[in-house]
Amino acid sequence: RREAFLTLSVATVLLPQELYAVTTDDRYSPLYLLEPLYELKLAVDALAKIDSFDPKKWPRMQRRLDKFFSASSGDGNTMSERDVYVRIGKECVEGRSDAESKIRALEESFGKLQLLRDALGTVLANSNKATEEDAKTASQAIQRLTGEARDALTTWFDFVPDEDISLLDQLVQDVNNADGDRDGKLSESELRRLPENERALWVSRVSKFGRSKVEKSLGFKIGHKNF
């Protein structure tokens, strides 16, 4: 059985200072906290690139969004993935002067994804009687909502310095490359393929959230235009 993606732990993970992101008001936000949200950002970016005018992609989009907003019944965890990301986001910006606006941006992104899920549900339920004009209107709404979800999540990340975004981006790429069997986890031998600093960061991320990557949890193909 594949492990649930986000299994929250109360353990405190201490990292060398170089593995921390420096925020604009001189507070540190651990990169191991930012990493799952960055993977999510890449996934939402990929979602926004999907051809919304191709109805064949709509059922799969809806199923994956259903999973994102549904509470898990496994491992005694009743939080949805959306709830967990909100919790991580709040922890990342705790103590910042703009924390409230950052939380609003995160909530806005997830609100757009919720509207997208609802819109997909409606159009799919009525697909047998939809006209060509109905399909076009639905496609435009899907395109708009995915773009707005992406933009709001990008706004949340604007407090993270470019150099730390680069570190996160490189980590995601290296973890994907190290994942030789494509099971969404890194075995001990796969972990050794990472540079030492990335290995320490990934171990800390795993200690907090579990072994699976966001890609395997949401089903979005990070770095690809289509599912």
Is the Cβ–Cβ distance between 119 and 105 less than 8 Å?
Answer: no
Considering Cα of 31, then 201, then 171, then 221, what sign does the dihedral take?
Answer: negative
Cα 113 to Cα 145: distance, rounded to the nearest angstrom: 7
Considering Cα of 33, then 36, then 39, then 44, what sign does the dihedral take?
Answer: negative
Q: To which H or E segment does residue 144 belong?
A: helix 132-156
Cα 25 to Cα 192: distance, rounded to the nearest angstrom: 35
At residue 21, what are phi and psi to the nearest 5 degrees?
Answer: -85, 140
Is the Cβ–Cβ distance between 32 and 164 less than 8 Å?
Answer: no
Cα angle, residue 29 at apex, residues 176 and 44 outer, rounded to 5° = 45
Cα 184 to Cα 180: distance, rounded to the nearest angstrom: 9
What is the pTM (predicted TM-score) of this model?
0.80
Cα 27 to Cα 54: distance, rounded to the nearest angstrom: 44
Cα 108 to Cα 145: distance, rounded to the nearest angstrom: 11
Written as six digits, the tokens of 174 are 């290296």
Written as six digits, the tokens of 167 are 């570190």
Is the Cβ–Cβ distance between 106 and 34 less than 8 Å?
Answer: no
Angle at which helices 58-69 and 99-125 cross, to 10°: 130
What string of pLDDT tens digits covers the 227 residues of the chain? 223 333 333 233 344 444 555 554 545 568 888 999 999 999 999 999 998 889 999 999 999 999 999 986 455 567 888 998 999 999 999 888 999 999 999 999 999 999 999 999 999 998 888 888 888 999 999 999 999 999 999 999 998 989 999 999 999 999 999 999 888 788 889 999 999 989 988 988 888 887 655 544 444 443 333 32
Question: Phi-psi region for residue 161, left (φ > 0), alpha (ψ -120 to 50) or beta?
Answer: beta
